[in-house]
């Protein structure tokens, strides 16, 4: 999708324009400088078969090849953008209010996945990153559990699959670089253990969480020290074992594994760090 270089600019935008960069005709301001298109891309990870995997799509349009799910930011016409900027309700369709809205929509349309928490990696805009022209992308990363998200190809994707992070093909655009940046972001935020709860199924045990956390952080993690870090919010999410309607009784000298509810664990973790659930 391409947009004209001559756009309508209103209100507080006026003071940002220099005489050289605008030609006034009523409320119409024409910029002589070219404008790059804005896109978003999403690196979605899971832990399956003891390996860290990432979701890739096979593009159905040029440039072909495997790539991250992503696409263009959907914006309204000048009148719509002016109304939304003034506080009007944004359109229900074909309009991305935020960059994250764009990332979630593209992930849903191209891969059939409804993402949980997404974290922004950053912006990528090198002149040689896209053979079609000058495109700036804002990249995100997130975790999912495969039992809750079954990918399916849609939109302009010919195929979609989970691929081992250690055995990736050469990807379209600069997506190998984006994935490297995502992995670096995960490593740098590995102490934010609440982020890794998205890797869990609807009900999980602490040993399951420990294994997934090690795989995703690509570190050997002491089981006891990790348990101490996550216990404050896990104790708020204790759930009956599968197939029961209440706490399971002790059996002999062994207690049954404690199960936790994923949604309640995430809510408790967000509350503990002062973030909205």
pLDDT computed for residue 2 by the predictor: 39
DSSP 174: T
Q: Are residues 157 and 219 in the same domain?
A: no
- 219-231 pLDDT, tens digit each: 999 999 999 999 9
Q: How far apart are CA 192 and CA 221, in angstroms?
A: 14
Q: Which CATH number does the domain housing residue 97 bear?
A: 3.90.79.10
14 in any annotated domain:
no
Q: Are residues 231 and 255 in the same domain?
A: yes
Q: Are residues 201 and 185 in the same domain?
A: no
Query: What is the enclosing helix (H) or strand (E) of 137?
Result: strand 135-143
Q: Are residues 266 and 170 in the same domain?
A: no
- 140-195 pLDDT, tens digit each: 999 999 876 677 777 677 888 999 999 998 899 999 999 999 999 999 999 998 89
Residue 128: pLDDT above 80?
Answer: yes
Q: Are residues 129 and 74 in the same domain?
A: yes
Mean pLDDT of the chain: 83
CB count in 10 Å sphere of residue 74: 16
39 pairs with which residues across the strands?
72, 137
Residue 199: pLDDT above 80?
Answer: yes
Q: Are residues 59 and 152 in the same domain?
A: yes
What is the arithmetic mean of pLDDT over 132-136?
A: 91
Domain of 93 in residue numbering reads as 36-189
Q: Are residues 243 and 267 in the same domain?
A: yes
Residue 16: pLDDT above 50?
Answer: no
């Amino acid at each position: 999708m391409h947009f004209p270089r001559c756009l309508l600019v209103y209100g507080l935008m006026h003071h940002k324009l220099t005489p050289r960069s605008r030609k006034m005709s009523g409320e119409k301001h024409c910029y002589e400088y070219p404008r790059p298109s804005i896109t978003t891309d999403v690196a979605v990870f899971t832990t399956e078969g003891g390996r860290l995997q990432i979701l890739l799509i096979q593009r159905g349009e040029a440039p072909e090849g495997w790539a991250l799910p992503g696409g263009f930011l959907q914006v309204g016409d000048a009148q719509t953008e002016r109304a939304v900027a003034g506080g009007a309700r944004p359109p229900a369709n074909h309009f991305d209010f935020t960059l994250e809205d764009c990332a979630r929509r593209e992930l849903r349309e191209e891969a059939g996945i409804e993402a949980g928490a997404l974290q922004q990696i950053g912006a990528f805009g090198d002149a040689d990153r896209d053979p079609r022209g000058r495109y700036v992308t804002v990249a995100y990363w997130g975790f999912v559990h495969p039992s809750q998200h079954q990918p399916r190809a849609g939109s302009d994707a010919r195929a979609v699959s989970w691929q081992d992070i250690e055995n990736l093909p050469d990807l379209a655009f600069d997506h190998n670089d984006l994935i490297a940046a995502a992995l670096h972001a995960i490593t740098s935020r590995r102490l934010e253990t609440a982020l890794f709860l998205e890797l869990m199924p609807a009900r999980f045990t602490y040993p399951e969480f420990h294994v997934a956390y090690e795989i995703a952080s690509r570190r050997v993690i002491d089981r006891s020290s990790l348990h101490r870090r996550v216990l404050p919010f896990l104790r708020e999410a204790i759930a009956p074992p599968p197939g029961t309607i209440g706490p399971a009784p002790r059996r002999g000298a062994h207690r049954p594994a404690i199960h936790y509810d994923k949604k309640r664990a995430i809510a408790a973790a967000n509350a503990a760090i002062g973030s909205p659930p």
